[in-house]
């Protein structure tokens, strides 16, 4: 399996797309202002190539491309693309999703599902896994920047698009990178009251969530919203950690988050680790797992991206990832990894 990448603007897009006429799958990342135009040109120029698109910004090799269109063609694979037209009611699309999973005849070692959604991440992830788990197929996905995704050149709002990708020449591996650590001195908390609809944590151990967070870290109330870069909340699931980013402190003392917590979840406050060393270890692990690596598609949370920009580390980050070879990806507003919706995380799939 291989991937080919083209960076262009809206004027150049039509000519660029002709280079992908023999691709088995095309994935596009485009800014909101040109997204509809981008989808129309895809439908016009490569109508027979399965494709999905997401509204957002991406990066490729050593470059960060916030205003460009990124086109990624995949080869040496079998694909099925489709749409869940109502992200608020994904259960209505379960039968078609299961039919698509059966059709591709994939397994845990050669197939993944790549999804882009506009909203309702937790329910979307749960729905996918109800259909993917039997075959052991892993989910990798992201939340769009704006209420726009596309499938086969058609733009959808309040929807989720996906591609089942089966590597015909090797394997596909999935990875999740967490640059935050559990501080053994940090207390564990129970989410005693939440508001699922607004993704608020109202109380921890029956106390105001914002007060618990503020007092535990000894910070000012005004620092809460930016402190998530260094100290996000961690949801403990067995031996694993899934990150919950804080969006804002609400007037009632609750914490509005980018990911939903569940009633009685075990939570803690994480500590930013030696991120340069952790990222280098991720690269080494992927190179060790896949000696004949052909490509990597990654999703970096926008909060990681903003933090790396603030630390003036983004260029160094991309250069470190480039040790893997052809590396392209998306800055997402939320990440999907297997059975979980996560924040402040890098997820990726790599293939030989």
* Percentage of the chain exceeding pLDDT 70: 100
How many other C-beta atoms are found inside a 10 Å radius of the C-beta of residue 237?
Answer: 12
Same domain membership, residue 77 and residue 110: yes
What are the pLDDT digits (tens) for 187-226? 999 999 999 889 999 999 999 999 999 999 999 999 999 9
- Residue 137 is predicted with a pLDDT of 98
Half-sphere exposure of 154 (CA within 13 A, CB side): 12
**Rounded (10°) CA dihedral 217, 188, 245, 262:** -150
Model confidence at 241, pLDDT cuts 50, 70, 90, reads confident
Model confidence at 237, pLDDT cuts 50, 70, 90, reads confident
* Percentage of the chain exceeding pLDDT 90: 96
Model confidence at 236, pLDDT cuts 50, 70, 90, reads confident
Rounded-to-integer distance, Cα 308 and Cα 175, Å: 20
Rounded-to-integer distance, Cα 214 and Cα 216, Å: 6
The secondary element (H helix, E strand) that includes residue 319 is helix 314-321
Same domain membership, residue 296 and residue 229: no
Same domain membership, residue 221 and residue 233: yes
Same domain membership, residue 260 and residue 139: no
Q: How far is CA 192 from CA 167, 200, 225, 235, 254, in A?
A: 44, 12, 21, 14, 12
pLDDT mean over 325-335: 95
Same domain membership, residue 163 and residue 31: yes
Same domain membership, residue 88 and residue 72: yes
Predicted TM-score (pTM) of this structure:
0.94
Same domain membership, residue 222 and residue 299: no
Is residue 195 within 8 A of residue 254, CB to CB? The reply is yes
Q: What are φ and ψ of residue 58, in 5° steps? A: -140, -170
Model confidence at 346, pLDDT cuts 50, 70, 90, reads very high
Q: Which residues pair with 347 in a beta bridge?
A: 176, 299
The 3 state secondary structure assigned to 34-99 is HHHHHHHHHHHHCCCCCEEEEECEEEECCEEECCCEEEEEEECEEEEEEEECCCCCHHHHHHHHHH
Q: How far is CA 114 from CA 52, 53, 163, in A?
A: 9, 11, 5
- The CA R_g of the chain, rounded to the nearest whole Å, is 20
Domain boundary among the residues 272, 288, 316 is at 272
Same domain membership, residue 310 and residue 261: no
What are the pLDDT digits (tens) for 138-193? 999 999 999 999 999 999 999 999 999 999 999 999 999 999 999 889 999 999 99
Same domain membership, residue 148 and residue 105: yes
Same domain membership, residue 126 and residue 27: yes
What are the pLDDT digits (tens) for 60-111? 999 999 999 999 999 999 999 999 999 999 999 999 999 999 999 999 999 9
Question: Domain containing 287: what range?
Answer: 2-177+277-351
Domain boundary among the residues 237, 272, 307 is at 272
Same domain membership, residue 209 and residue 77: no
Domain boundary among the residues 217, 245, 272 is at 272
DSSP string over 229-240: TT--EEEEETTE
Number of domains in the chain: 2
Same domain membership, residue 245 and residue 156: no
């Amino acid at each position: 399996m291989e991937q080919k990448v083209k960076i262009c603007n809206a004027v150049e897009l039509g000519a660029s797309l002709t280079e992908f006429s023999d691709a088995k799958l095309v994935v596009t990342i485009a800014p909101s202002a040109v997204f509809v135009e981008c989808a129309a040109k895809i439908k016009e120029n490569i109508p027979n190539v399965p494709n999905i698109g997401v509204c957002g910004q991406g990066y490729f090799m050593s470059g960060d491309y916030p205003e460009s269109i990124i086109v990624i063609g995949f080869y040496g694979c079998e694909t099925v693309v489709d749409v869940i037209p109502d992200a608020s009611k994904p259960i209505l699309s379960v039968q078609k999703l299961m039919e698509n999973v059966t059709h591709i005849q994939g397994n845990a070692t050669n197939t993944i599902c790549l999804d882009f959604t506009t909203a309702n991440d937790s329910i979307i992830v749960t729905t996918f896994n109800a259909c993917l788990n039997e075959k052991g197929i892993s989910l990798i996905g992201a939340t769009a920047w704006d209420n726009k995704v596309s499938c086969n050149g058609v733009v959808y709002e309040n929807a989720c698009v996906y591609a089942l990708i089966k590597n015909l020449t090797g394997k596909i591996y999935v990875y999740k990178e967490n640059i935050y650590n559990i501080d053994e001195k940090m207390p564990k908390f129970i989410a005693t009251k939440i508001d699922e609809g607004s993704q608020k944590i109202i109380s921890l151990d029956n106390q105001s969530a914002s007060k618990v967070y503020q007092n535990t870290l000894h910070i000012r109330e005004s620092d809460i919203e930016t402190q998530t870069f260094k100290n996000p909340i961690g949801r403990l699931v067995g031996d694993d950690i899934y990150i919950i980013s804080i969006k804002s402190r609400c007037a009632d003392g609750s914490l509005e988050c980018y990911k939903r917590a569940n009633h009685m979840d075990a939570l803690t406050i994480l500590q930013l680790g030696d991120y340069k060393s952790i990222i280098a270890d991720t690269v080494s692990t992927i190179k060790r797992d896949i000696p004949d690596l052909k490509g990597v598609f990654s999703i970096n949370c926008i909060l990681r991206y903003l933090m790396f920009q603030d630390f003036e580390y983004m260029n160094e980050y991309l250069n470190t990832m480039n040790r893997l070879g052809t590396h392209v990806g998306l800055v997402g507003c939320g990440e999907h990894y297997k059975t979980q919706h996560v924040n402040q995380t890098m997820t990726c799939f790599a293939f030989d």
